[in-house]
Amino acid sequence: MFSFFKKKPVAPEAPAAPVVAPTPAEAPAAIQVPDLLPIEEPAEKKQSWMARLKAGLSKTSNNLSILFVGAKIDDDLYDELEAALLMSDAGVDATEYLLDALKRKVKENKLLDAAAVKAALKQLLIELLTPLQHPFELGRHTPTVMMISGVNGAGKTTTIGKLAKHMQTHGQSVLLAAGDTFRAAAREQLMVWGQRNNITVISQASGDPAAVSFDAVQSGKAKGVDVVMIDTAGRLPTQLHLMEELKKVQRVIGKGMDGAPHETLLVIDGNTGQNALAQVKAFDDALKLTGLVITKLDGTAKGGILAAIARVRPVPVYFIGVGEKIEDLQPFVAAEFVEALLG
């Protein structure tokens, strides 16, 4: 089932939790989060999740599906498919790759009807996106330190809130750091949220994000919490001094704990279009990302951006979001996503 969290060796308040260098033989078993759905009513929740994902991606799925209705397999179909893929934010590289692979497949398998070609495209998309699918692992370190970055308004703080609640549900203790010291309101937003949800939030009025992050890691270690999540202020990759500041935050986190941050995530707004790819490249160049979270796939997002990421900068996509409720954030599953796009 979905309870990888639950397998964590129960060691409440065990200060003696061994801080062992994680050699393969000695490292505690990783805790995966293949599915963050609440354990109760998984089938119902899953259904509503898929419905929301499908609704979110309906523009692209309509554009793609209509092409195959009673279509002849000819150059016109490929041209239209090319246009639809480009419009879906897949980008030139992934679009060309998919078209070439599809043409080859059609030839090799002598596919004659449109439904078979659509099925072949679906399969190719699943193959393209599957390498992005990665279970999110916890439990290799105590605490697991996560740093969350992204442009302004991408959904960083909301995602942290959702993840924290999912983790709590699965018995993980969580500590948050209000590393967004840019805006006082941001700090307060997280503090209030933390109080409501019984989660400690480390914050400082001083306005130094690196110092807050360092404190949070220290405090997380001292308290033996399972997860420390560090929020950061939104910034554009073109704001070079702010990117430098982010690198510094990451370095200082490493001073607080060897090997930390264990996860450096980039949160992307799914509606950003091709610019999302530029964001992935820039943040990855600066921080060496370990994973992505793609939010707002319930809006006007077209979904093809994942194909672009898979081709050009395949950073794992841990989670995707289709709304503001806690269950609206789920692990990325390639087959599910493609089903929503081309089902």
Ligand X SMILES: Nc1nc2c(ncn2[C@@H]2O[C@H](COP(=O)(O)OP(=O)(O)OP(=O)(O)O)[C@@H](O)[C@H]2O)c(=O)[nH]1
How far are the Cα atoms of 78, 121, 233, 277, 280 from residue 312, in angstroms, in the given order?
22, 19, 26, 8, 10
The pattern of x and - marking residues 182 through 211 that bind ligand X according to CB under 6 A reads: ----x-------------------------
Is residue 298 part of the contact set for ligand X (CB under 6 A)?
yes
Residue whose entry in the numeric block shows the structure tokens 């979110």: 56
Q: How far is the CB of 186 from Mg ion (least distance, A)?
A: 5
Is residue 239 part of the contact set for ligand X (CB under 6 A)?
no
Q: How many degrees, rounded to 5, is the angle at CA 178 between CA 177 and CA 179?
A: 95
The pattern of x and - marking residues 115 through 154 that bind Mg ion according to CB under 5 A reads: ----------------------------------------
Q: How far is the CB of 160 from Mg ion (least distance, A)?
A: 8
HSE at residue 96, side-chain half, CA atoms within 13 A, is 4
First to last CA, the chain: 25
The one-letter amino acid code at 148 reads I
Q: 61: closest CA among 271, 303, 319?
A: 303
User: For ligand X, which is the closer residue by CB, 148 or 334?
Assistant: 148
Is 196 within any annotated ligand binding site? no
Is 234 within any annotated ligand binding site? yes
Signed CA dihedral, 256, 257, 258, 260: sign only: negative
Q: How far is the CB of 148 from ligand X (least distance, A)?
A: 8
Is residue 157 part of the contact set for Mg ion (CB under 5 A)?
yes
User: For ligand X, which is the closer residue by CB, 139 or 321?
Assistant: 321
Q: How far is the CB of 186 from ligand X (least distance, A)?
A: 5
Is residue 154 part of the contact set for ligand X (CB under 6 A)?
yes
User: For Mg ion, which is the closer residue by CB, 233 or 289?
Assistant: 233
Q: Which does 154 bind (CB under 5 to 8 A by kind): Mg ion, ligand X, none?
A: ligand X
How far are the Cα atoms of 67, 74, 82, 93, 279 from residue 103, in angstroms, in the given order?
15, 10, 12, 16, 31
Q: 279: closest CA among 324, 229, 315, 304?
A: 315
Residue whose entry in the numeric block shows the structure tokens 């080859």: 104
Is residue 215 part of the contact set for ligand X (CB under 6 A)?
no
Residue whose entry in the numeric block shows the structure tokens 């073109």: 238
Is residue 306 part of the contact set for ligand X (CB under 6 A)?
no
User: For ligand X, which is the closer residue by CB, 94 or 186?
Assistant: 186
Q: Which does 323 bind (CB under 5 to 8 A by kind): Mg ion, ligand X, none?
A: ligand X
**Cβ(336)–Cβ(133) under 8 Å?**
no
Is residue 295 part of the contact set for Mg ion (CB under 5 A)?
no
Is residue 303 part of the contact set for ligand X (CB under 6 A)?
no
**Residue 318: partners with Cβ closer than 8 Å, 6 or more residues away:** 134, 136, 265, 291, 292, 293, 331, 332
Is 57 within any annotated ligand binding site? no
Binding footprint of ligand X on the chain (CB under 6 A): 150, 152-158, 180, 186, 234, 267, 295-296, 298-299, 321-324, 328
Q: Which residues are annotated as a binding site?
A: 150-157, 231-235, 295-298
